[in-house]
Chain A
């Protein structure tokens, strides 16, 4: 992620000022455009076109791909603003994000700190183990956890045996807990990759810093608070950004785990879009596009806010490559 931002900046800088005329330069470099052709075609059709087309679709009344859409102005947006189910999905996504991201980022940092110590035993083993769920298929994990979280399943049984629960409970089937069951499974699944990000970040802190702190007699806690943490702030912003975007893209897990239910209690934005566009008997593609556009704006807004945060953090901590 830092890679990509840094990379693009370098690439921008290395774009030279033109000396010849534009046409001549294009003619001279014809082979470059040939190399870029697959990207032009693929990226143009499958990323740039959808980016633009969604906006157009959002102004249509469009009952299915086979049908012709009719332009209805901003009616879809007006309807969205008044749609309780849309705001419900929007709120669920925000709650998911606000609960799950700090949990994932924080717990991963803690694990990384423990696993970064020279003397922690079986580091490689633990690292592999925590990373294992990351490579698995979200949709399959969702289904598997419907069994694990069943009222007669092992998790409920273990909690009852331990005396934490009074009677068996199905967390997925209760409207009060279904969203948080999703949060739990999501953190379980993705913690490992955030831990790897943090370990990579911790590697950038030279060993001498740690030694100097010890010579000065800093306790591990004080060392973390006053030395490690400030050095990690730029990474914190980037890692939070990556995980935030991840938390908005939880369709596979949530759809297979709860299907958005019961009674929409765990319906996140992506499920709302999917249900409106593909799940209903009469597809409302224009309406779903309007929701998608708002969803896209939300994601972009969060990304921009955090990009600003990265700049701020960089300036504050000085150089960070």
Chain B
């Protein structure tokens, strides 16, 4: 039970809960080992990131030549400047922000609208919509990519930001709609009845009353969609094969490998540039992150 090192010192204070003490065996070597194992695993988990930051500040020969040491002799900030301007990560960064922003907006908007009516009203065709959602829930991206490219090509949107945004956000993402539907379903009926008595129409009710009430779901959907769009790869890759100026960070990174194959320190710096925004958002909002995901599963 007690993996807890802290409790070994504070244990006497807890004897007030006398019976509990009886059940608590002394820390056995096995349990100490579990804790040590946890620590080692944690180190393995964080090591790639520490190595990456260290490599991004090293000189080229230092990365692979200096053994396991993580501290650079002298931080080379120029690596970042090179990745940012010479390789074009400034451009990729902007593209990623535009595409992620557009995708998040698109998914949140259409999911909230659809979730509201699916959650609160019954109408002809509802069962059909739900059935289609279920059938397509696990549709892999590798399955849809060819028709999506063909469609985007027909629409004349290949090699545009709008094309990538539609490709990422217009279809799929059933979970967001169902999250909204579940939440709206749980809100009391009186809300609409009162508002209707006051003369509010459907759209007023939705935008003034319902949507603001659903902000926890909006936060969850925005966070999950942000992750999805920022990290997307296959679709942006295929959409930008003939238009390098449209690359996102993820696509730019692989192009970097192809074009400047041996510039490891520049690559590491570029990777840090690409990863920092998602990781920063995560660290800032980590409670919300974890609760969103746990909530989405548990409900």
Contact = CB atoms under 8 A, between A and B. Distances in A.
A143 B169 contact: no
A25 B151 contact: no
B182 interface: yes
Contact of B267 (A143, A197, A248): A143
A299 B140 contact: yes
A136 B148 contact: no
Contacts of B1: 117, 119, 220
Given A1-B296, A50-B148, A137-B230, A278 B241 contact: yes
Contacts of B297: 1-3, 196-197, 200-201, 238, 242
A161 B68 contact: yes
Interface string B1-20: 11111110000000000000
Nearest to A151: B64
Contact of A157 (B3, B67, B151, B267): B67
Contact of A35 (B38, B46, B113, B135): B113
A144 B203 CA distance: 48
Interface stretch (A77-85, A96-104, A266-274, A311-319): A266-274
B290 interface: yes
A296 B136 contact: no
Interface string B103-115: 0001001110110
B143 A121 contact: no
Contacts of B230: 137
Contact of B3 (A117, A145, A293): A117
A139 interface: yes
B227 A131 contact: no
How many A residues are at the interface, by size bracket?
A: 35 or more
A68 interface: no
B244 interface: no
A214 to B, nearest CB: 5
A75 interface: no
Contacts of A148: 48, 51
Interface stretch (B71-79, B80-88, B172-180, B188-196): B172-180
Nearest to A321: B299
Given A132-B282, A137-B278, A157-B68, A269 B133 contact: no
Contacts, number: 331
Contacts of A137: 230-231, 233, 249-250, 253, 274-275, 278
Contacts of A49: 147, 151
Contact of B139 (A4, A51, A57): A51
A270 B143 CA distance: 8
A135 B171 contact: no
Given A117-B1, A147-B55, A47 B171 contact: yes
Nearest to B256: A143
A132 to B, nearest CB: 7
Contacts of A51: 135-136, 139, 143-144
Contacts of A296: 139-140, 143
A69 to B, nearest CB: 10
B114 A35 contact: yes
Given A8-B178, A137-B249, A295 B142 contact: yes
Interface in A183-217: 188, 193, 196-197, 199-201, 203-204, 214-215
Nearest to B231: A137
B156 interface: no
B293 to A, nearest CB: 5
Interface in A127-157: 127-133, 135-141, 143-148, 150, 152-154, 157
Contact of B179 (A3, A53, A144, A146): A3
A256 B114 CA distance: 36
A181 to B, nearest CB: 13
A15 B203 CA distance: 22
A225 interface: no
Contacts of A4: 137, 174-175, 178
A114 interface: yes
B279 A270 contact: no
Nearest to B4: A119
Contacts of B114: 35-36, 38-39
A148 B267 CA distance: 12
Interface of B: 1-7, 23, 34-35, 38, 41-42, 44-49, 51-52, 55, 63-65, 67-68, 106, 109-111, 113-114, 116-119, 121-124, 126-127, 129-130, 132-151, 153, 166-167, 169-172, 174-175, 177-179, 181-182, 185, 202-203, 206, 227, 230-231, 233-234, 237-238, 241, 249-251, 253-254, 256-257, 264, 267-268, 271, 274-275, 278-279, 281-283, 286, 289-290, 293-299
Given A114-B3, A201-B297, 11 more contacts: A11-B118, A39-B114, A42-B166, A43-B132, A46-B172, A54-B143, A120-B35, A139-B253, A158-B68, A188-B48, A277-B146
11 contacts: A3-B299, A4-B175, A7-B181, A16-B122, A31-B203, A42-B106, A46-B166, A51-B135, A188-B44, A197-B297, A215-B23
Interface of A: 1-4, 6-8, 10-12, 14-16, 18, 22, 25-26, 29, 31-33, 35-36, 38-39, 41-43, 45-51, 53-54, 57, 65, 111, 114, 117, 119-121, 126-133, 135-141, 143-148, 150, 152-154, 157-158, 161, 188, 193, 196-197, 199-201, 203-204, 214-215, 220, 238, 242, 245, 248-249, 251-252, 255-256, 269-270, 273-274, 277-278, 285, 288-289, 292-293, 295-296, 299-300, 303
User: When A and B form their complex, which 3 residue pairs have the shortest distance between CB atoms, in order from nearest?
Assistant: A46-B171, A42-B170, A47-B171
